[in-house]
Amino acid sequence: MVSDCSSLARSLAIPYYADALPGHDQYHAARVCDLSLRLAERLDEPVETDLLAAAAWMHDIGRPRERTGTIDDHDRWGAKKARALLTDAGVSSERVERICACIRSHSIRDSSPAPSTSAGRLLFDADKLDAIGAIGIVRLASIVGERSGRAGSAYASLDDSSAHDLTPPDRPDVALLKGWAKERLSALHTAPARRLGESRWAFVETFFERFNAELSIE
């Protein structure tokens, strides 16, 4: 029976990120894994870190397929695929189900169930924290590009349209990124994540102050 789920999950997951764009690639999975484990160290309750790390590595394996329209729901598909991969690799059904429950509940979308375990809440929080702060702003801007490519036209304008004497676009402006980050900050479950989230949010505020200053030609 497999005892080291995290290393196994990493090796199984990485090929599924081969076609991923920067917002949801293997580096995002690695950051979420590292961050979720750091949060677990600060949580005042026990967490099965091996299963948490495994879920973190596999949580977005369905993203490339969702982006291209092959599947509709990457968290549901990812949980199903992870169940098959881990079961075939000899992981016990009980451990597989706990990993898959984390994957199924990691998304902020309304169709995803709320995480019901400490590991699930930590995975959710680590994933959301990767969309707040310096890395978060880069990721969210990348996701705008990803969605623009999928739609075939610009998803948002990464500028403040009110700062220019131009016709406002019929799509969101750069404030969308701040809104997305704030939404994720508000959704965090655990105290360690909320503390880190406030620190990262302070940078988001500073970034937009600088952004607006540069638009004003300083």
Q: What is the pLDDT of residue 34?
A: 97
Q: Name all domains of the chain by residue range, CATH numbers in brackets.
A: 1-109 (1.10.3210.10), 131-218 (no CATH)
Cα 121 to Cα 75: distance, rounded to the nearest angstrom: 15
Query: Measured in whole angstroms, how far is the alpha carbon of residue 5 from the centre of its chain?
Result: 21
Below-70 pLDDT ranges, the chain: 1-3, 151, 163, 168, 217-218
DSSP string, 133-186: HHHHHHHHHHHHHHHHHHHTS-S--SS-GGGSSSPPPSS--THHHHHHHHHHHH
Cα 64 to Cα 69: distance, rounded to the nearest angstrom: 9
Q: What is the pLDDT of residue 102?
A: 98
Q: What is the pLDDT of residue 217?
A: 59
